[in-house]
Amino acid sequence: MQLLLPFIKLFKRQWLMMSVGLLLTCTTIIAGIGLLSLSGWFLSATAIAGLTAATALAFNFFTPAGGVRFLSIARTASRYGERLATHEATFKLLTELRVWSWKKLLPLSASNLQGLRQGDMLNRLVADIDTLDHLYLRLLVPMAASLLTVVALYAFLSWFDASLALSLCALLIAAWLILPLVFYRLGRKPGEAVVDSKRRFRVLILDVIQGQAELTLFSANDRYRQKLREAELSLFTSQTAMAHVTGLSQALLIMVNGAAVVMMMYFAGHGVGDSVPPGPLMAMMVFATMATIEMMMPISGAFQHLSGCVLAAKRISEVTEQTPDVVFGQENQLEGTDINLSNIHFGYQADSQVLTGLNLDLPQGSKVALLGATGCGKSSLLSLITREWQPQQGQITLGGRDISEFDEATLRRSMTVVSQRIHLFAGTVRDNLAIALPYVEGQKRRANDEQLTAVLKQVGLEVLLSSKTTTDRGEEVGLDSWIGEGGRQLSGGEQRRIGVARALLRDAPILLLDEPTEGLDKRTEREILRLLFTLAKGKTMLMISHRLTAMAEMDCIHMIQNGQITDSGNHQQLMADSADYQSLYKHLGKEV
């Protein structure tokens, strides 16, 4: 239960709307009990008054009838208002939870999130947070409303007979205390199973969607579809078990309510207060007892979902309660763009080293290339410079100062990264370019159309300026063209050019290239590199590659193998002195 405390503390930010929702819930229940109680008394009193002409003429039909109408209208209005208030509070709480979770997640580095699959992380941030809305909507509000209603019911019934009111409310309090524990025990395993089976099903669906090309290529679709069917069956089985618990809990509550009705009929039959025989007051007591089922019924669902909420809170806390492995400093002034790596030891696992004692210098304004086979540690080195990971040993300096002294904003402003995989978002061409613009807190990233148009022309994407797409929002032209999820409407070369266009807009003093032309044809590769070299004039540039295209343009080339630099020099020097470089040059067919 302690896992829920951090999330419950967040609820105080929406205390006003939550209080309104609770008040309207109580009003709805009280109006319902009052309506049924008054109706029972009214029908009984009318029947008794009709026994003789004198009592029939003296009986006041209008006041009770008006009370019935008032309570009916009040119950309907309060129920509508309660739905609005509780759901508004729920949506705001979910917003608070998501913002809070993102603020906890953003400082975490790749090492903190190591081992978490994308689907699992998505499920934690979406489905698990959605599950926590049960805390307010199905647990806190029903429990608090039922308790407050019991107090109000005692105050009302004790006006007529204190002993009957005490007997009924004592039974209701006992049910309020005992039954939720029973329901929690019954619903614990099914509730956890529902949350876990939903997680596995969602993760598997995301894996199948993202890996559809590979699954089709390797004829693995049937196998994964079978896994999907098994995960779906597991979800249905857990939901069925939860439905059985729901039915059982509701049956127990109906049984308790029936026992309370029988008890009240027996005690009220001997008289209500000073009324012996009880007459219409007995009907009022019995009908009031019958109406308490509305107050108690939500309790059956409240604690069934508690186990799911606890499991969801545990999964979210596993991420949000981590201490960031990479901690940034406070320095916000960059004195130079030279980069030095000294005696770097790094590995993703404690028993496996990727870089072992690596030393590397990148003088300010130089163009440096790192060459090596896949898995030799090139991209890992780039991750250390961008502080995505932290070396286990050694020092990295930027402008003569330890890189850990700089705050994150300063470090990010100083670097432009063009990776081999360009991340494009479901949006317009304008949106996907604007994210590269410098960010000013409290302001939206803006660029005029002339600037974006010039950049697109510079990278050879004039075709996007004249393209037209038709969406549900109408026809979109040029910068407002929709490029689809992941840039599906663009070719691989066009996606790479979007990445270069972002780099041009970013215009940071350090340019880091992680195999930016991987998978491109020779012509496109040379065009992309030409643009990047134009951008790199006057900047410190580090390019990671396992190909030799444009190596003659580099000031220095480092050969990396087994986590260490084995050879260094420019193209001519390596061609004369390095057997590995000569072999690579011969193997790749003179791509310089």
pLDDT tens, 538-581? 899 999 887 788 888 889 999 888 888 888 999 899 888 888 88
Domain boundaries, the chain: 2-320, 330-424+492-592, 425-489
CA–chain centroid gap for 497, Å, is 31
Query: What integer pLDDT is reported at residue 258 of this predicted model?
Result: 92
Question: Who's near 29: CB < 8 A, 6+ residues apart?
Answer: 145, 146, 149, 294, 295
The residue among 527 and 30 whose pLDDT is bigger is 30
pLDDT tops 60 at residue 474: no
Type of residue numbered 500: V
Cis peptide before 277 (omega within 30 of 0): yes
Dist. CA 452–CA 213, nearest whole Å: 33
Dist. CA 100–CA 507, nearest whole Å: 32
Query: On the CB side of 415, how many CA atoms lie within 13 Å of its CA?
Result: 26
Query: What integer pLDDT is reported at residue 341 of this predicted model?
Result: 92
Residue 454's nearest CA partner among 465, 441, 443, 440 is 465
Whether this prediction's pTM lies above 0.85 is answered by: no
pLDDT tops 80 at residue 6: no
Residue 109's nearest CA partner among 278, 322, 395, 282 is 322
Structural contact between residues 469 and 475, judged by C-beta atoms closer than 8 angstroms: yes
Strands 339-346 and 355-362: antiparallel
> Which regions of 363-453 does DSSP assign to beta strands (E)?
367-371, 393-398, 401-402, 415-418
Query: What integer pLDDT is reported at residue 211 of this predicted model?
Result: 82
Structural contact between residues 460 and 497, judged by C-beta atoms closer than 8 angstroms: yes
Query: What integer pLDDT is reported at residue 441 of this predicted model?
Result: 56
Query: What integer pLDDT is reported at residue 343 of this predicted model?
Result: 92
Question: Who's near 4: CB < 8 A, 6+ residues apart?
Answer: 135, 309, 310, 313
Query: What integer pLDDT is reported at residue 76 of this predicted model?
Result: 92
Cross-strand partners of 339: 362, 398
Query: What integer pLDDT is reported at residue 535 of this predicted model?
Result: 83
Dist. CA 317–CA 6, nearest whole Å: 9
The string of pLDDT tens digits covering residues 270-329 is 888 777 677 788 888 899 999 998 888 888 777 777 888 888 888 888 888 888 888 889
pLDDT tops 70 at residue 477: no
Query: What integer pLDDT is reported at residue 324 of this predicted model?
Result: 86
Residue 200's nearest CA partner among 123, 125, 134 is 123
The whole-number average pLDDT for the span 514-529 is 79
Dist. CA 509–CA 438, nearest whole Å: 13
The residue among 331 and 525 whose pLDDT is bigger is 331
Cross-strand partners of 347: none
Exposed/middle/buried for 350, CB within 10 Å: 0-12, 13-18, 19+? exposed
Query: What integer pLDDT is reported at residue 472 of this predicted model?
Result: 52
Structural contact between residues 152 and 218, judged by C-beta atoms closer than 8 angstroms: no
Could you tell me the two tokens for 57? 């003429």
Phi, then psi, of 8 in degrees rounded to 5: -65, -35
Type of residue numbered 170: A
The string of pLDDT tens digits covering residues 375-392 is 788 888 888 999 988 898
Query: What integer pLDDT is reported at residue 302 of this predicted model?
Result: 75
The string of pLDDT tens digits covering residues 13-62 is 778 888 898 899 999 999 999 999 888 888 888 888 777 777 777 777 88
CATH architecture of 330-424+492-592: 3-Layer(aba) Sandwich (3.40)
Dihedral angle over CA of 516, 520, 525, 528, nearest 10: -50
The residue among 526 and 226 whose pLDDT is bigger is 226
Q: Is the dihedral of CA 136, 140, 146, 148 positive or negative?
A: negative
Would you tell me how many other CB atoms lie within 10 Å of the CB of residue 479?
Answer: 18
Percentage of residues in the chain having pLDDT higher than 90: 21
Residue 252's nearest CA partner among 170, 187, 169, 157 is 187
Query: What integer pLDDT is reported at residue 542 of this predicted model?
Result: 93
Dist. CA 489–CA 316, nearest whole Å: 35
Type of residue numbered 41: W
Residue 124's nearest CA partner among 154, 145, 153, 104 is 104
CATH topology of domain 2-320: ABC transporter transmembrane region fold (1.20.1560)
Sheet with 564-569, strands from edge to edge, namely 415-418, 510-514, 540-545, 367-371, 556-561, 564-569
Query: What integer pLDDT is reported at residue 440 of this predicted model?
Result: 58
3-state secondary structure of 318: helix
Structural contact between residues 75 and 65, judged by C-beta atoms closer than 8 angstroms: no
Could you tell me the two tokens for 299? 């309790």
Query: What integer pLDDT is reported at residue 167 of this predicted model?
Result: 92
Task: Report the alpha-carbon angle 99-103-105, nearest 5.
Answer: 115
pLDDT tops 70 at residue 476: no
pLDDT tops 80 at residue 439: no
Query: What integer pLDDT is reported at residue 166 of this predicted model?
Result: 93
pLDDT band at 591 (very low <50, low <70, confident <90, very high): low
Lowest mean pLDDT among 37-51, 212-226, 246-260, 435-449: 435-449
pLDDT band at 4 (very low <50, low <70, confident <90, very high): confident
Average pLDDT over the chain, rounded to an integer: 84
The string of pLDDT tens digits covering residues 48-89 is 877 777 777 777 788 888 988 999 999 999 999 988 988 888
Could you tell me the two tokens for 388? 């995505």
pLDDT tops 80 at residue 592: no
The string of pLDDT tens digits covering residues 121-178 is 877 888 888 888 778 788 888 888 999 999 999 999 998 889 999 999 999 999 888 8
Structural contact between residues 550 and 529, judged by C-beta atoms closer than 8 angstroms: yes
Query: What integer pLDDT is reported at residue 151 of this predicted model?
Result: 93
Task: Report the alpha-carbon angle 27-29-31, nearest 5.
Answer: 65
pLDDT tops 80 at residue 468: no
Percentage of residues in the chain having pLDDT higher than 70: 95
DSSP, residue by residue, 544-557: EESS-TTGGG-SEE
The residue among 410 and 350 whose pLDDT is bigger is 410
Question: Who's near 396: CB < 8 A, 6+ residues apart?
Answer: 339, 340, 341, 342, 344, 384, 385, 402, 403, 404
